[in-house]
Structure 1
Amino acid sequence: LTVQVTNDAVQGNTDATATSKLTVIVKGNPECTSTDFQTYQAQTNSLPGTFDDGRVSVGPYDSLELVEVDPGRHVEIHIRYINTVVVVRQIGRYFTFSIRMPEELVNDSSSNQDLQLCVRGCPQSEIINYQEYLALRKYVPSAQDVSNVQTGTEPAPAVTRSHAEKVCRDAKLTDFYFDSCVFDLMATGNQNFTLSAISSLMDVLKLHPSAAR
């Protein structure tokens, strides 16, 4: 299994990035699916309901199956012979995705690049220090801060921190998902990112119930 993700800067914003393209490649397995690779590609404004070859299932007992939960918004790829599920959602122009995979398979993959996102997380070059971003905007802007915004040396947040925190708190988000929601709202003003945080949390709780403890 290989998952490739492309992140782009959010339109009209230099602080935030979001996933604009996602490719899932399931390697051939003649005993469980077929000898051929199966590829699924989603990109902005396109969340297909089939694999690239037009099929929705491969192998006996649907051992590899693509389920269109909500057309154009939510698909799931079930790779049953390795007890793995990939959930892909399109919210606005961008995507969220979650994976459930047995720990031993993830650990076995730590020596190659196919699942580096699962094993190591995002590359350092693509990580935004959202905690620093929020810390710098923790207090009411000073006169100097306002001056910096007016002269263009410091970008103004799309919404105030207090408003962003209220929206994300009302959405029942906690921990990382709360911080992510606040950052995205302040950086973009796009309410779709609140929905992204909600759906990501829901997917994690569904795929990994122990995360709720």
Structure 2
Amino acid sequence: CKILRCNSEYVAATLPLRGPARGAAVCAALRSYSRCTRRTARTCRGDLAFHSAVHGIEDLMIQHNCSREGPVAGPPPPKPDPRGFGALDACDYERSFVFKHGRPPGFQHCAAFGDPHIRTFHHDFHTCRVQGSWPLVDNHYLFVQATSSPVAEGSNATVTSKLTIIFKNMKECIDQKVYQAELDNVPSAFQDGSVDGGARPGGASLAIHELVPGRHVEIRARYIGTTISVRQAGRQLSFSIRAAEEVAGAFSEEEQDLQLCVGGCPRGQRLSRSPRGRGRAAADAARALCREMLPVEDAYFHSCVFDVVTSGDANFTMAARGALEDARVFLPDAGKIHIFL
């Protein structure tokens, strides 16, 4: 039975895909995956991984609205190591997951931006009054803490002014790494000056990529199937994450019970998103400004209006716009990008 070869070819075809144009390429890869399983059906008839893959393909075809007829993905590149699944593959979460389960992993998305507004892993959307330091993510692999301060003197609204991200030590993959960003200081390296996971065999499975100098970095943690985006827009920092479901859920409820990405803001720290304090004219002007960047009146649009009215700073339109751009890249289901309040 050669189902593992089908699985690995599908992963190789889809791993590099990003952005809004990935849909057609994913469908092509799924059609190739389906064709590969049909070729090996006779020898794999009693194999559980084979049947899991077949059902997984059906679900993914429906999820991505793929037709059964159409172009297929090109042939996979040759494998550099013919000896099979080795130590370095253990530091590639997606390949490892497919090898073990016969299907790609699921992913979840969380974001914190603007006031801050929190989009949780479960698609809840809150606006928070959280001064001081609060954990966004706290699990066995990763810790993310946001530090907030008032957006203006005397205001209940706050913005994220500092982000601390700790990638925890993991066997042969990475040394513990700490990334810290503050207003006007979004570095393209970890605190120790390195840009990867260190000298261990899988050190390259953690890497920082600077997308806009001093304003936007992306940290790719392949060993845990996770990508993090950190941006500065105006006088605030934004955080977005795409995490494997298994990784996002790897925490103890007794010890790691407060995570804004999991449970959202505590009830006593939630704010109404109705803009107040500057009058109807300011709200109308903010709506017009936000509509230029965010034509769909969803949670991102209303968060933008709230932030512009509260702060008086038009740069906050870029915070909501950046969060929406991250959602388009990070969310596996395009139908869940927009949240309507």
User: Is the structural similarity TM-score above 0.5?
Assistant: yes
User: Which residue is equivalent to 1:141?
Assistant: none
CA deviation after TM superposition for structure 1 residue 61, in Å? 6.0
Question: Does the CA contact (< 8 Å) of 2:145 and 2:165 recur in 1?
Answer: yes
User: Which residue is equivalent to 2:286?
Assistant: 164
Q: Give per-residue Cα distances to partners, 1:2-54, cap 9 Å, x unaligned.
A: 000011111346042110010000100131112xx210011121111100000
User: Which residue is equivalent to 1:107?
Assistant: 249
CA deviation after TM superposition for structure 1 residue 156, in Å? 3.0
Counterpart mapping for 1:138-177 below 5 A? 155-157=277-279, 160-171=282-293, 172-177=295-300
Cα distance in 1 for partners of 2:170, 2:246 equals 19
* 2:146 is aligned with 1:5: yes
Q: Residues 104 and 30 of structure 1: is their aligned pair in 2 closer, same or farther, counting only changes over 3 Å?
A: closer
Question: Looking at both structures, which has the greater relative contact order when contacts are Cα pairs under 8 Å and sequence separation is at least 6?
Answer: 2
* 2:314 is aligned with 1:191: yes
* Aligned partner of residue 200 in structure 1, secondary structure: helix
Cα distance in 1 for partners of 2:186, 2:241 equals 17
* 2:233 is aligned with 1:91: yes
User: Which residue is equivalent to 1:207?
Assistant: 330
Question: Does the CA contact (< 8 Å) of 1:3 and 1:115 recur in 2?
Answer: no
Cα distance in 1 for partners of 2:239, 2:302 equals 18
Question: Does the CA contact (< 8 Å) of 2:146 and 2:162 recur in 1?
Answer: yes
Counterpart mapping for 1:42-121 below 5 A? 42-58=181-197, 59=200, 60=202, 62-109=204-251, 111=253, 112-113=255-256, 116-121=259-264
Question: Does the CA contact (< 8 Å) of 2:173 and 2:203 recur in 1?
Answer: no
Q: Residues 110 and 198 of structure 1: is their aligned pair in 2 closer, same or farther, counting only changes over 3 Å?
A: farther
Cα distance in 1 for partners of 2:307, 2:251 equals 31
| Selected match of 2:173 from 14, 32, 36 | 32
Q: TM-score, normalised by structure 1?
A: 0.81
CA deviation after TM superposition for structure 1 residue 91, in Å? 1.2
Letter matched to residue 69 of structure 1: L
* Identity rate, percent: 43
- Bigger shift: residues 68-77 or 104-113: 104-113
Cα distance in 2 for partners of 1:204, 1:122 equals 20
Cα distance in 1 for partners of 2:326, 2:284 equals 27
Q: How many residues align?
A: 190
Q: Residues 162 and 22 of structure 1: is their aligned pair in 2 closer, same or farther, counting only changes over 3 Å?
A: same
User: Which residue is equivalent to 1:126?
Assistant: 269
Letter matched to residue 24 of structure 1: I
Question: Does the CA contact (< 8 Å) of 1:158 and 1:187 recur in 2?
Answer: no
Q: Give per-residue Cα distances to partners, 1:95-145, cap 9 Å, x unaligned.
A: 011000012222232624287122112333432221xx34xx6xxxxxxxx
Q: Give per-residue Cα distances to partners, 1:44-78, cap 9 Å, x unaligned.
A: 21111100000001243611111111110001111
Cα distance in 1 for partners of 2:241, 2:258 equals 11
Cα distance in 2 for partners of 1:88, 1:31 equals 26
Letter matched to residue 207 of structure 1: F
CA deviation after TM superposition for structure 1 residue 188, in Å? 1.4
Letter matched to residue 167 of structure 1: L
